[in-house]
Amino acid sequence: MRLKLVLAVACAILLVGCGGGGGPDTAASFAEIRDLTGAAAPVETPAVQRARSPGIVSRADSLIVSTIYGESSNPALPAFRLRSRCSGTRCTISEPTTGYSETVRLSDLEFSAGSAAAVGTRHGVTLMSWTGRDAGESYTRLGAWMAHSGFAVEDIQATEQGIRTGLRSGIAGGDLTGTPVTGSATWLGVMVGTPATGSRRGDRLQGDAALNYDLSSGGGLDVAFSSIKNIDRGAAHPTATVLFADVPIAPGGTFEAGSAGNRIQGGFYGPGHSEAAGVFEQSNIVGAFGAKKQ
């Protein structure tokens, strides 16, 4: 999923155009990443996921974008956050300092794959790494297309007329199940993320995702992202675990809790709530996740 339009929104806020730039390449080989994260060799190729993605997009009734963290060399706005409120297949992106607001729709986004490579498979989810340059900007992305949904974390870098701009965000969406979750169930999968701010912003993070729900307990959805590793540094991330407890689930199978900086939003996708996907922010990590029902 390409957030090119969101980059245009940021550029409008900064009153500059956006063009070329550069993004980090992984310092570790995919084999080293698999050793670090406990992933197995990929069971899918980029071509397989690319072929599946148009069908998911055509059926999609959900788009979720995290808060978008950015910085620029423009002294008027050196650091900024674009707030995101999403419903259905559209999100309202706003910047509170300037009052700028823009609606982003699923149909506005670009879904080009760029240069893709399979990283590894964990809990039945095969992660893909995308890198590319498009209309003068460069990006790196880590995520996956599952059977009914997709998720990714993306870092975009651009420079125009000496003004540098960087953006980091999580994105997810797909074909919602649309019915209440009943009984008890567990979904296991993968989280992807990046430090939202700081010197290592843009580094790619990977960890395990576990979602647990038990209707009989009377609580909400418990979500845990654990064993978080910085795959660009080949080391554990200082925050090893991120938790969200008792997240309420709406009758349509969507869930949301918190606000910018400490937030989770997602949904259940496919027949029988077979997949879960969404975005999150906590402990200076912004990212996304996807998981499959066990």
- Give the burial string for 114-137 (b: 16+ CB within 10 Å, else e): bebebbbbbbebbbbbbbbeeeeb
Can you list the residues of the chain whose pLDDT is less than 70? 1-28, 110-114, 135-136
pLDDT per residue as tens digits for the range 275-291: 999 999 999 999 999 99
Question: What pLDDT score was predicted for residue 282?
Answer: 98
- C-beta of residue 38 within 8 angstroms of C-beta of residue 121: no
Reported pTM: 0.91
CB atoms near residue 56 (< 10 Å): 21
The separation between CA 129 and the C-alpha centre of its own chain, rounded to angstroms, equals: 13
| CATH number for the domain whose boundaries are 4-293 | 2.40.160.90
pLDDT per residue as tens digits for the range 110-143: 655 568 999 999 999 999 999 888 766 788 999 9
Tokens of 251: 């009758």
